[in-house]
Amino acid sequence: MQRSLFAALAGALFGAGLLVSGMMDTAKVQGWLDVFGAWDPTLAFVMGGAMVPMAVAWRIAARRQTSVLGTALPAMPAQRLDSGLIGGSVMFGAGWALVGLCPGPAMAATLLNGTSGLVFLLAMLAGMVATPALRRALTARGDTAWTSAR
């Protein structure tokens, strides 16, 4: 019960932050990504505002064995730059630039963006479901360039 309450509070805070910052406004996000056109630099403050507390949180987490709720903390992610990370980042960025949404804002904006938001959310979920099968197929074929495990 306590864990669910904290998850709901964290999700509500995240969603409120997305709404207040403008991250659910696809035109604003696309303006941020349009560096050679009508560039809107205001989301740089959102990014910076997210990176600073996250850097502090990673430093605190590195010194702890358990979370505030007493559950085990997950292992720190590997810090390696490989083709899977680069390829995934390029695809994520391209999708973000084309649509103006990434997974968090897409879920939060589904109710606000009507049919187009729902179509994007369904397409995103289909890609998430298809990725493990594609990774297995590429690995079976011997192509390991895009199959590094996350």
Using one digit for the tens of pLDDT, what is the confidence trace for 25-55? 878 888 888 888 888 888 888 888 889 988 9
Does residue 83 carry a pLDDT above 70?
yes
Of 65 and 114, the structure prediction assigns the larger pLDDT to 65
Q: What is the predicted pLDDT for the residue at 11?
A: 86
Q: Which range (28-37, 51-60, 97-106) has the least confidence?
A: 97-106
Kindly indicate the confidence band of residue 147, based on its pLDDT and cuts at 50, 70 and 90.
low
Question: Is the pLDDT assigned to residue 76 strictly greater than 90?
Answer: no
What secondary structure, in 3-state letters, does 44-108 show? HHHHHHHHHHHHHHHHHHHCCCECCCCCECCCCCCCCCCHHHHHHHHHHHHHHHHHCCCHHHHHH
Domain of 17? 2-141
* pLDDT band for position 65 (cuts 50, 70, 90): confident
Q: How many domains does the structure of the chain reveal?
A: 1
Which pLDDT score, from 0 to 100, does residue 80 have? 82
In percent, how much of the chain has pLDDT > 90? 3
- Percent pLDDT > 70 in the chain is 94
146 in a structural domain: no
Has residue 147 been placed in a domain? no
User: In this structure, is residue 59 part of a structural domain?
Assistant: yes
Higher pLDDT, residue 107 or 56: 56
Establish if 149 belongs to a structural domain: no
Tell me how far the alpha carbon of residue 142 is from its chain's centroid.
29
- Residue 144 confidence (pLDDT) above 80: no
Look at residue 148 in the predicted model and tell me its pLDDT. 54
What's residue 146's pLDDT? Answer: 58
Within a domain: residue 117? yes
In a domain, 150, yes or no: no
27 assigned to some structural domain: yes
Q: Is residue 108 part of a domain?
A: yes
